Amino acid sequence: MNEIITKIREFRDLQSLIAEAEAEAESIRDTVKAYMGDSEELRAGECKVTWKPVTSAGFDSAAFKNTHAELYSQYTRETTVRRFCVA
């Protein structure tokens, strides 16, 4: 049992490090974006950074469900998964 407690603590510590690293990366990303302004491409040394607009279309399932509830229920299915969480 002590071994699993140690592993869980290691896991939590690593999750914390990951969160810190992601926050730091996000901060750096924001700094680069601010530097780029409206530019879509930046060359810095051997690096090429692009920040271009991307258009995508998504399906509004909530609106579809409201207007076509019966059809919506025909094509939805329930699934069950196990969620792993350490608090």
Residue 42: the pLDDT is 98
Q: Rounded to the nearest 10 degrees, how much is the dihedral formed by the CA atoms of 13, 18, 23, 25?
A: 150
- Whether 8 is covered by a domain: the verdict is yes
Tell whether pTM > 0.85: no
- Whether 50 is covered by a domain: the verdict is yes
Backbone angles phi, psi at 33, to 5 degrees: -60, -45
- Whether 66 is covered by a domain: the verdict is no
Report d(CA 25, CA 63) in Å as an integer: 36
**Residue 85 binned pLDDT confidence (cut-offs 50, 70, 90):** very high
Model pLDDT for residues 51-69, shown as the tens digit of each residue: 999 999 999 999 999 999 9
- Whether 83 is covered by a domain: the verdict is no
Domain extent, residue 16, equals 2-55
List the Cα angle 80/19/22 in 5-degree steps: 110
Spell out the long-range contacts of 51-60 with Cβ–Cβ below 8 A and sequence spacing 24 or more.
Answer: none
User: How many structural domains comprise the chain?
Assistant: 1
- Whether 18 is covered by a domain: the verdict is yes
